[in-house]
A and B are shown apart, each in its own frame.
Chain A
Amino acid sequence: MIATAPPLALQAPQLMTTPPLLTMTGVSRRYGDVVALRDVSATVYPGEVLGIVGESGSGKSTLLRMMNLEDMPDAGDYRLALPDLPGNLFDLDRFARRMLCATRIGIVYQNPHLGLLMKHTSSGNVAERLLIAGERSFAALRGRAREALDASEFPLDRMDARPLELSGGMQQRVQLAKAIALEPVLLLLDEPTTGLDVSVQALVLDTLKRLQRDRAMTIVIVSHDLGVIRTMADRVMVMRRGRVVEQGLADQIFQDPQHDYTQQLVHAKL
């Protein structure tokens, strides 16, 4: 049905009647001479999975860092549909920003060293999130860390091992547990399975899909692997040189790519 409808380039699915959860408008960011993002706008609806694809250096990770309020743009507006924080989130002060990204947004990095304290225990890594959010009961910390690790299908008998001693797939599961521990409104995944071998990659993707289904989570996933995007995403945004060159429903993008670059991408994959 949807695949045969006329292309709705740059449009959100019309079936969506709820207002978007995430709205980003006109975000630009340059690092010296490099323009990492050029006037990027994005919308994500509640419960939806937005996939971002693009070649290396196209600004995918930078965009995700902006969504996680880790880095500030030169210009742009960013809103999440949170009743207590109605304005442009880029205008928040340092403290509010840190609280927001610790409690309402979860992120999984491609490089576990960015997301985990390698020398602390795995359960402790998850507990730290809860501690920042103000949890002060040891029993509750322990219980909620265990729950989150379990939901990420992490082997619980290793929950007090240090991530340093774990396999890559397990490290990603710890990151995931940490990201979902506070039931964030938005989950950001930056190449969560890149670097894992194919069978482990499939298992981690399974976990992600199950979590998404069970909790109706809103996810933005970045990958240069079209296979990953195809299995996960409802809608796809294609980036090149800091710009969004095409976006639309996943089926549409994969079956009927409009932009030259997207056509090359899809055909190279098939």
Chain B
Amino acid sequence: MTIATLTKPWEAMSYGFLDASAKRELRRKMLKAIAVPGCQMPYASREVPMARGWGTGGLQVTLTLLRPSSVVKVIDQGADDSVNAASIRSFLSKVSGARETWDTLEATIIQSRHRIPEERLRADQVLVLQVPNPEPLRPVEPNMSVARQMHADADYGRLWLILYEQIVRSGRVMQGAAYPSLVNGRHVMTPSPIPRWDVPKLHMAQHLTFLSAGREKRLYAVPPFTRVEPLVFSDVPFQVEDHAALTCHRSGLTGYFMNEIPQGGGGSQFELSDSNLGIKAIRQAEGAEARVGSTWYENGKMPQ
């Protein structure tokens, strides 16, 4: 008997980069996360060829879900062409054979940092959000094992207390991104650093969302058709960012989340944050063929 008969033949890397046991562990945790919506599941978090904090959590989930027939889109702050998004996307395609795309409608898996696309996601699509800090209780309870007990007890009084004190101090809720939201009436999650604008998109959505933090080694999920309710007082309505009336200076679209671009004279211009939506709108206006799907927001309003 020789070593060669006991070992597998040499391969450049295993399919989807992660080895089979890593993927199996992740899949189990992902199934658990779906079973208990919004509840953080610890996982092993393997090494990937990227520094922690750059989306390694999202990357591991995406690698586990990919297959050669997948079509993958990666966005960073809404843009497909930023360095980080482009290199993650090409890495994903290289290790899995999945096709790359910028088009939200075409993608089967979308990995994202900071944004949910403006076009509605369908039941056959999966959204993977990169999360830097998965623990909504961190600001009120630095001890993580106590925080876990608080989740078990659904003891969220102090999260509400933070909102109460923001209103007392500033007259309004100051929480911008990562707005704490109650999932399925049970667990409060922090929906990654997406703006408030994107939080209502998760509520009763058709698609499956995974949220994964590589450094903190936790993942959680919002399964399709699950309630996601931002914590709000009954007499202080939830407000998204005041972007409904802004117009994108490149595409001419109005009623979506915008990036502000400061101008020389002290004023500012606005540009669609979902850059692919802007590109498609410009193509359409130029008479080229481009399909724009239905969007979550209509005329700057989210229909109930």
Point out the residue from B164, B169, B234 that lies within 8 Å of A131, measured CB to CB.
B164
How many chain A residues have a CB neighbour from B under 8 Å?
A: 21
Which range contains the number of B residues in contact with the other chain?
10 to 19
Report the 4 A-B pairs with minimum CB-CB distance, sorted nearest first. A138-B233, A132-B157, A131-B160, A131-B157
Within 8 Å of chain B (Cβ to Cβ): is A268? no
19 contacts between A and B (CB under 8 A): A94-B153, A98-B153, A98-B155, A120-B158, A121-B165, A121-B168, A124-B161, A124-B165, A124-B168, A127-B164, A128-B157, A131-B160, A132-B157, A136-B233, A137-B233, A138-B234, A139-B235, A141-B164, A160-B168
Within 8 Å of chain A (Cβ to Cβ): is B31? no
Contacts A129-B157, A137-B235 supplied; 17 other A-B pairs, CB < 8 Å: A98-B153, A98-B155, A117-B158, A124-B164, A124-B168, A127-B161, A128-B157, A128-B158, A128-B160, A128-B161, A138-B164, A138-B236, A139-B235, A140-B235, A141-B164, A142-B168, A160-B168
Within 8 Å of chain A (Cβ to Cβ): is B167? yes
Roughly how many angstroms separate A121 CA and B166 CA in the complex, as a whole number? Answer: 11
Q: Which residues of B contact A137 (CB under 8 A)?
A: 233-235
- A interface secondary structure, majority: helix
Roughly how many angstroms separate A136 CA and B235 CA in the complex, as a whole number? Answer: 8
B152-199 contacts to A, CB under 8 A, are 153-155, 157-158, 160-161, 164-165, 167-169
Q: Which residues of B contact A131 (CB under 8 A)?
A: 157, 160-161, 164
Roughly how many angstroms separate A94 CA and B154 CA in the complex, as a whole number? Answer: 11
Residues of A that sit less than 8 Å from B by CB:
94-95, 98, 117, 120-121, 123-124, 127-129, 131-132, 136-142, 160
Chain B 193-222, CB-CB to A under 8 Å as 1, else 0, gives: 000000000000000000000000000000
Q: Which residues of A contact B164 (CB under 8 A)?
A: 124, 127, 131, 138, 141
B154, B164, B236: most-surrounded residue (chain A CB, <10 A) = B164
Point out the residue from B154, B161, B234, B235 that lies within 8 Å of A120, measured CB to CB.
B161
Q: Which residues of A contact B153 (CB under 8 A)?
A: 94-95, 98
